[in-house]
Amino acid sequence: MNLTSRYFTYLIGKLLMRENTPGGLMASIEEVVASSMSINSRLPAQLEKALERNIVLRIGWTTNGDPVPKDGELGLCPNLPNGSKVRSLGYLGPFTAAFGQGGTYTHQGDVGSYLGAGNDGNKITCERTAGPCAGFGQKSGRITILDGAGDDAGAKMSGGLLIIRGDSGIRIGGGMSGGDIVVHGDVGGDPGAGMTGGRIIINGRCPTPPPGVLLRTLEKSEVKEINKLLADDELHIPADAVCLVPDGDIIEGIMAECREDLSGISLLPMTTNHNPSYSTCDTVVLVGEEDALAFPIPLLPYVPKGVQDDLFHPCIVRDNPRDCDIVIIDSDNIANASSLVQSAAGFAIDMDSMPRLGGAAIDGILVALRCIAGPQSKVMLIRGVSQSASLHSDSQHHGVDAAISVLNDGSGISAAASLPMVGRSASANLEQDCLASMWLPWSATSEDLAILCASNIAFTICPAPDENIAGWIAQVTSGLSAHLNRLGLASIDALTRANLRACDQDTAAVSGLRLAGYDRPMPHWFAR
């Protein structure tokens, strides 16, 4: 599966311990990921044979039926096809049986976070405990957990059924818009926070729900309906169970916006020479080491619903990706991730749209989606610009191809102030095989692209204009070449911070750039 040595460099922790030697050493994350990828790579052929024979595919047993429990493998059994049957044994990590399409999956043991995430038809049973975010983003299907679940169970569900026997953590059903959650046990604080649809039925203790959530009793008809849906006498709910439903509209908070662009920064030559206006400049950016994806200029336009015309330029989209596009995977479309990543040249995971993705969870979702998309798929991570240092560190550790810092992340950080944050972090944390990118909230100009490239930011993402995208790209391309020729440079790779000047003191103060005329950074940049 073309694993690279840079892909993973740290340990998951205690839950991933393996008795590889009499001394009891922990398996490295590289070994865990390699084992997970190996199992997943063999699954399609094994599932096809099992379907033909109408048998259950068993993971965690030898061919003779002797138990060999799994211990920490993650991202296992993604995208199970309709009619497939799988049973596993042991402890499994995050994103087990994610992005299902109609299979039946039973696990004898504990699982980590994001069990059945993005489920769209699977029937999943966990016979012991599940970690946080079980059933995250479920669209359809059924998930049953028989010994309790962690925080954020059923978060962002839009449909399907989640059954938990035992206690669950905080924020159960947070942000859900549809579907049913049934809990035979106690729930933690903030149940149903931000829910806009669906029901949470609780046969146990329930704290006072947050604003926007109504706690009520069940009607007799509802009890009958739900018990028919459960179709298991041991899971039936009593008449005194309570129900949480949305109560009124959710008011979204107003976040700070980036109020400044890059107009306070100019581009100056470092040589007295310039190139003729008709000179050809190298403006290509390559993403990925093998079978690289080429951007003709350092620009990845954002077209949310996908390109509808004959544009021959890669874009970043949320729906309808082409085979040259990067598709965003977030909490809103995670249930469609399987089909989306198979149609695109790569995918970008919006980490800020989901509950915290720790190291093991990132491993899990990358293993699952890489196995679906194929080894040549380009992988990117997205976070707000104020988290650029941790984004870059995670991106390098997990061997992704690009790290995207979103300028308009609610922090209110100006564009000029973000340049040293992203550029210096990229220099400190990223190697050449992982590129830094910045997402602007406006349609970029050729000057913007040149300024960002000079700041160690390999390519820019920005919204495309509503009309004539091809004309806009052609204009930006021409302008970028004109700037490079004016500066006497043959390639965008030759741009450095030395080519940048701040046009005013405020810009110089926040960016650390030399002030035009003063020709040095402001004195406070040298203070200790």
- Dihedral over Cα of 218, 220, 224, 225: its sign: negative
Span of 3-12, 230-239, 240-249 with lowest mean pLDDT? 3-12
Cβ neighbours of residue 173 closer than 8 Å, sequence gap 6 or more: 153, 154, 155, 157, 181, 191, 192, 195, 198, 200, 244
Multiple choice CATH, 265-523, 3.20.20.70, 1.10.357.10, 3.40.50.300, 3.90.580.10: 3.20.20.70
Question: Confidence class of residue 23 from pLDDT cuts 50, 70 and 90?
Answer: very low
Residue 390 pairs with which residues in a beta bridge? Answer: none
* Residue 528 confidence (pLDDT): 61
Average pLDDT, the chain: 92
Prediction pTM value: 0.92
**Tens digit of each residue's pLDDT (9 = 90 or more) over 323-342:** 999 999 999 999 999 999 99
Cα-only R_g, the chain: 26
Within 13 Å, how many C-alpha atoms sit on residue 137's CB side?
Answer: 23
Specify the fold of 60-246.
Pectate Lyase C-like (2.160.20)
**Average pLDDT, integer, range 285-289:** 93
Say how far apart CA 287 and CA 422 lie, in whole Å. 18
Percent above pLDDT 70 for the chain? 95
**Average pLDDT, integer, range 31-52:** 94
pLDDT exceeds cutoff 70 at 367: yes
Say how far apart CA 246 and CA 422 lie, in whole Å. 40
Question: Confidence class of residue 5 from pLDDT cuts 50, 70 and 90?
Answer: very low
Backbone torsions φ then ψ of 177, nearest 5 degrees = -120, -5
**Tens digit of each residue's pLDDT (9 = 90 or more) over 477-518:** 999 999 999 999 999 999 999 999 999 999 999 999 999 999
pLDDT exceeds cutoff 90 at 392: yes
Residue owning tokens 């696990």: 107
- Per domain, the residue ranges of the chain are 60-246, 265-523
Task: Give the DSSP per-residue string, 131-173.
Answer: -TTTTTT--EEEEEESS-B-TTTTTT-EEEEEEEES---TTTT
Same fold yes or no, 60-246 and 265-523: no
Backbone torsions φ then ψ of 407, nearest 5 degrees = -65, -45
